[in-house]
Structure 1
Amino acid sequence: MSVPTLPAAPRDSGDAWVFGQDGSKFWGRFGAAGLLVCDEARGVLLQHRAAWSHHGGTWGLPGGARHDGESATHAALREANEEAGVPAAALRVIGESVFDKGFWSYTTVIAEVIEHFDAVISDPESIALEWVHPADVELRPLHPGFAAAWPALRLRLPGAAAG
């Protein structure tokens, strides 16, 4: 898969909670997406979530709510740029993993670094950004959704980065 060009984001923000019949809640009226960025030399990019955010204080992926009509890949790239300064042009998208509840979905877009960049905290949703060796990811307090998905996601990392 190649990196798509990023057109202007759709106007309609999906920033809202979606509630399941069992009372569970998920962020993103049109679903959500996150970006699993892998650099063979540095590991995977993790975001330490601000205390005020849902599951605050945990580590996860840059990501967030999709806009109406926005593809998961575009949403993941947009959110990672907004939250961590990740430039889409420095990545090659290599796959997706979808968690689908029927009424809501979360797509993890997997990308490898093809041009070095430094991640920077660029909005208040992050308190830290760190490159973490895949073998050390589970040593951190992870966002519950990411913790559940990580074992399968790790197997999809390219080459030596899977650790």
Structure 2
Amino acid sequence: MTLTFEEQEALHRQAKAETGFWGRQGSGCLVYARDTGKYLVQLRSEEVLQGGTWGVWGGAVDHGLTPEENALAELMQETGFDGEPELHFLVDFIDEASGFRYRNFLAVVEQEFDPILNWEGEDSLWCEIGDLPDPLHFGLEYLLSRIPNPAQHLGIATSPALK
């Protein structure tokens, strides 16, 4: 069964009322550029939950999508990226009180790109893992508290020019 956009939004609003989160589960990705060894983060707009914080690209998992499919779709919607990144699972955030789950991935791209932001983001920044801007979204803080350097943790090589 395919749901309309309006039906999806109604389900997400209901979940927010019940859990405090947009949707019952979410997924997203931190982007890593192999050519520079930098990570791409976005400054969340005031139109979304936790606006004014720097975080990953993602959102509520829509009906019929896997968390992986959703993370890639959100990346495309929120940045305009049209390539095929390598997607690697990192960690799940689980809110014990509500049961909400957010699946975090690392999306590896060959080179940095200029994101085309939609209404969900105010700004974006490519930066080294030690130079992330403040304040971080609580979800990105959670991810980094478990995996401080995701690309290194996964053994992802940078371009030869960086070695």
Would the TM-score normalized by the shorter structure come out above 0.5?
Answer: yes
- Alpha-carbon distance in 1 for matches of 2:14, 2:144: 24
TM-score normalized by the length of structure 1: 0.76
Aligned twin of 2:108: 112
SS of the residue 2:151 aligns to: coil
Q: Alignment partner of 1:55: what SS? A: coil
Task: Give the number of aligned pairs.
Answer: 146
Q: CA deviation at 1:42?
A: 4.7
Give the match's secondary structure for 1:81: helix
Deviation at 1:113, TM superposition (A): 1.3
- The code of the aligned residue for 2:38 comes to G
Please show how residues 3-152 of structure 1 align to structure 2 within 5 Å.
Answer: 11=3, 13=8, 15-16=12-13, 18=15, 25-29=20-24, 31-40=25-34, 41-89=36-84, 91-101=85-95, 103-114=99-110, 116=111, 118-137=113-132, 139-152=133-146
Which structure: greater helix fraction?
Answer: 2
Q: Which residue of 2 aligns with 1:6?
A: none
* CA offsets 1:24-72 (integer angstroms, 9 cap, x no match): 611113x111111111305111010112321111100111011113111
Q: Which runs of 5+ in 2 are unaligned?
A: 159-163
* Percent identity of equivalent pairs: 25
C-alpha contact 1:77 1:88 (8 A) present in aligned 2: no
After TM superposition, the score normalised by the length of structure 2 is: 0.76
Partner-residue secondary structure (3-state), 1:154: coil
The Cα of 1:160 is off from its aligned counterpart by 6.4
Contact 2:93 2:142 in 1 (8 A): no
The Cα RMSD (Å) is: 2.5
Instruction: Flag as ranges the 4+ runs of structure 1 deviating above 4 A.
Output: none
